[in-house]
Amino acid sequence: MIPVDCSPNQHDPANGRWGDCYRACLASILELQTAQVPHFIQDRATKPEWRDDERAWLSARGLQPIIMVLKLPLPTILECLGPMNPGVHYIVGGMGANGMPHAVVACGASIVHDPGNVGIAGPVEGGQHVLTFVGALSAPHVGIKSMPLVDVSPLDRHERIGLMFSGGKDSLALVYMLRPFWDRLTVYHADAGDLLPETVEVVAAVEAMVPSFVRLNTDSRAWRRENGLPSDIVPWSCTPFGRAFKEGGRVTLVDRFACCRASLWEPIFERARADGVTLEIIGTKASDPGGDATRMMAGMQPGQSTVTVGDIERWFPLNAWSDEEVFSYLRDVGAPIARYYEGGVSKGPECATCSAYWDEGRAAYLAKHHPEKAAAYMADLQTIGLELRAPFMFLTTELAAGGVPPPGLLPGSRALPEADGQGRGTV
């Protein structure tokens, strides 16, 4: 225990500000600075929600509050608990000598730290003293799948923190998980102008919840018109140089990353850096299809969830999580889960009519729920399909001439994903 005092002049209920004696007690027991512990109570002293936030914050550290409400005089409480808990620090809440609720730190049978030098004069209304112990998070009940614990210590190293929120399930889980730290971070969202209404709703819900939200509006449709259609296969004939040949294609195609980088990734990270953010929180998991690539690009070692390059730390809190754990967590906290995740689909689209990301299986989903977007999507796929006919014909001809079967029949070919009930592939 390292004694931490209350912030001076904090208690001003008339203006909606409560003193932070409880925060100081918690910081003392956890041996943290005041600023590292959220002021859970703020103006909610009589509302139980602050205890939920405290529980979530401690849970992320592998801890939990153990609370006792005792209708006994304080000397009796200390006399009973002391011999049974030698050396154990805990928080005692009661009525301060100044007539306001107050908290102090006790150890065994003694009060060992009063963060405001006020003293506990008696119980709060109802004759109660409230004791809070901090213990290790309980092991999960049998049959309930626990989530991997997340070490939140990267938050302690930074003043300017940005959470990159796409509107998908993983970054949504981060938003909920880091709720106790919302007052210290900004949620950044890049909207490329082609979100599904389902995603728009989730983004709007988060924007309304968090205190600091930055939305960057870009226009991926305009980028596509100007630079080419994103495609998962780009033949030479559809590159800008290849189109100058007489066999050149009728449209320019670009890889999916070129478009995403220009419309989503660079704008959001550039904005965060312009804002002075030094901790970037990202929802990518090691189990994601691109998890390994993300880790390699970031320079992160296997098993780690954070990496620092120059002045910037990139933190992947969900690195060890699976899709199932993310969905389970979202259900537990009551987060909105977009409809396109139904039926076991694990990845939601960034842009509804994007002509790449064929593995998302959007055709049937869009046809069912968004026919106009489906028409635009299919028209672009048709355009791409026409451009791919010639290269595939040459490839098949060459393979056949060398006595090799077509790609789909080659030994070691990757099995095609099985379609789910809605026509979407599962990979």
The contact set with ligand SF4 (CB under 6 A) reads 192, 220, 230, 256, 259-260, 263-264, 350-351, 354, 356
Shorter beta-carbon distance to ligand SF4: residue 114 or 288: 288
Minimum CB–partner distance for residue 407 and ligand SF4 (Å): 24
Region of residue 170 (phi > 0: left; psi between -120 and 50: alpha; otherwise: beta)? alpha
Q: Cα-flanking dihedrals φ and ψ of residue 114, to 5°?
A: -115, 105
Q: Are 330 and 175 in contact (CB under 8 A)?
A: no
Tokens found for residue 160? 């300017």
Minimum CB–partner distance for residue 224 and ligand SF4 (Å): 6
Minimum CB–partner distance for residue 185 and ligand SF4 (Å): 24
Q: Looking at residue 263, what DSSP letter applies?
A: I
Q: How many residues does the chain have?
A: 427
Region of residue 395 (phi > 0: left; psi between -120 and 50: alpha; otherwise: beta)? alpha
Minimum CB–partner distance for residue 351 and ligand SF4 (Å): 3
Shorter beta-carbon distance to ligand SF4: residue 264 or 345: 264
Q: Are 277 and 161 in contact (CB under 8 A)?
A: yes
Shorter beta-carbon distance to ligand SF4: residue 214 or 258: 258
Counting Cβ atoms within 10 Å, is residue 24 exposed (0-12), middle (13-18) or buried (19+)?
Answer: buried
Minimum CB–partner distance for residue 199 and ligand SF4 (Å): 12
Minimum CB–partner distance for residue 61 and ligand SF4 (Å): 36
HSE, CB side, 13 Å, CA atoms: give it for residue 405.
Answer: 6
Shorter beta-carbon distance to ligand SF4: residue 176 or 357: 357
Shorter beta-carbon distance to ligand SF4: residue 230 or 248: 230
Shorter beta-carbon distance to ligand SF4: residue 192 or 206: 192
Q: Cα-flanking dihedrals φ and ψ of residue 205, to 5°?
A: -65, -40
